[in-house]
Amino acid sequence: MEPILTKYVREPNSYTLDFFLAHQGYEGLKKALGMQPNEIIELVKASGLRGRGGAGFPTGLKFQFVDKKSEPRYIACNADESEPGTFKDHVLMERNPHLLFEGCLIGCWAIGAKVAYIYIRGEFYHVQKVLEAELANAYAKGYAGKNILGTGFDCDIVIHRGAGAYEAGEETALIESLEGKRAQPRIKPPFPAVAGLYNKPTAVNNVETLCNLPAIVTNGAQWFASLGPEKNGGPKLFCVSGHVKKPGVFEASMKTTLRELIFDHAGGIRDGHQLKAVIPGGSSVPILLPHELDIPASFDDVQKAGSMLGSAGIIVMDETTCMVWRRATCCTSTSTSRAASAHPVVKGRTGFTRSSRASRTAKGKCATSTCSSASATTLSGRRSAHSATRRRPRH
């Protein structure tokens, strides 16, 4: 499949406005502003675009759920990419920032928002500098701000720097952080579509999700859906890292199997070693073994195999990796301050790390029981867990 989002990222000046305009840049926005907002929402729904941040929720529905009676409405772009093993938004923002702006503007037009906040993680300082410089160019040329492209549509884009909080990747936590509070998730409902940022209707979308909007508007829903398997349409960015020869971000259809991604796109395992295990979607999802890799890398197929595609951060490990050490490393990362607000993560961590340490001293007895609680306390377990912690009196 020919890349769509990352086609030009290797060109030296791909991030500039001139380059973007010379390669059909802002064409999607022009077309979108000629359509009714409802038409765009229907188009996105028909395309089957699913959120690329991890949960895979249909984006069209998210836009539709935004309460259209309440003013103002907001788009919050989730650029707090902090799931270990994920670095796709980093590449998109660093090398193709205007595509993100275009996506934000189309999203704003669709839900009737006047401001899009891009919440970028604090560590991406150099990426933020690129975004800010290019945003200034977009404003100067009339692609953002007042009266965009002479259509009378006003929309501001604001770049907001986070300060290091893993939890801010969760949508309600991101909103809390944007409001100047601790990045701790809220109890849902109410969902952000009804009461989000400043208690106003908000659509929170991942960078990659918004970057898909221009192509959908330009080429149509049918085209987009046909790029992948059923209900998993469109191009997808996969981040392959770990013990592979050519780690990097690869754009592919979700029809591609995990094995092809690792062995064809990423060049296979480093010389003289064999594959031992693969984490298919960031370090909080269950691992897959070498014989389980012949499945399409789509949200549904990976889930059927007992794991999750999540944010598509594929971490590959060869036979030199101790699985107990791996578990302990992941536990440390979720238990340090960045995720420390999550009660089960904290509680579970003490258990994991202790048993991991114990089993490492016992030479190789694997702490398998702790791994099952890992899946129970990450992602899916998070929401209910937070409800529990938030209801406690806080001292």
For other proteins, the binding residues in 294-353 under the rule CB under 8 A are 313, 315, 317, 321, 326, 329-330, 332-333, 335-338, 340-341, 343, 346, 349-350, 353
Pick from 26, 63, 166, 224 the residue near other proteins by CB under 8 A. 166
CB 332 → other proteins: shortest distance, Å? 8
Q: Is 30 in the site for other proteins (CB under 8 A)?
A: no
Shorter beta-carbon distance to other proteins: residue 160 or 383: 160
Shorter beta-carbon distance to other proteins: residue 229 or 267: 267
Q: Is 124 in the site for other proteins (CB under 8 A)?
A: yes
Q: Is 373 in the site for other proteins (CB under 8 A)?
A: no
CB 389 → other proteins: shortest distance, Å? 7
Shorter beta-carbon distance to other proteins: residue 195 or 227: 195
CB 64 → other proteins: shortest distance, Å? 25
Q: Is 389 in the site for other proteins (CB under 8 A)?
A: yes
Shorter beta-carbon distance to other proteins: residue 108 or 221: 108
Residue 216's nearest CA partner among 21, 79, 32 is 32
The piece of 43-51, 96-104, 221-229, 242-250 that touches other proteins (CB under 8 A) is 242-250
Q: Is 272 in the site for other proteins (CB under 8 A)?
A: no
CB 331 → other proteins: shortest distance, Å? 11
Q: Is 15 in the site for other proteins (CB under 8 A)?
A: yes
Residues numbered 63-102 forming contacts with other proteins, rule: CB under 8 A: 81-87, 89-90, 94
Shorter beta-carbon distance to other proteins: residue 39 or 125: 125
Q: Which two tokens stand for residue 91?
A: 């590449």
Query: Could you give the CA distance from residue 200 to residue 40 in angstroms, rounded to a whole number?
Result: 21
Looking at the DSSP bridge assignments, the partners of residue 325 are none
Q: Is 391 in the site for other proteins (CB under 8 A)?
A: no
Shorter beta-carbon distance to other proteins: residue 50 or 326: 326
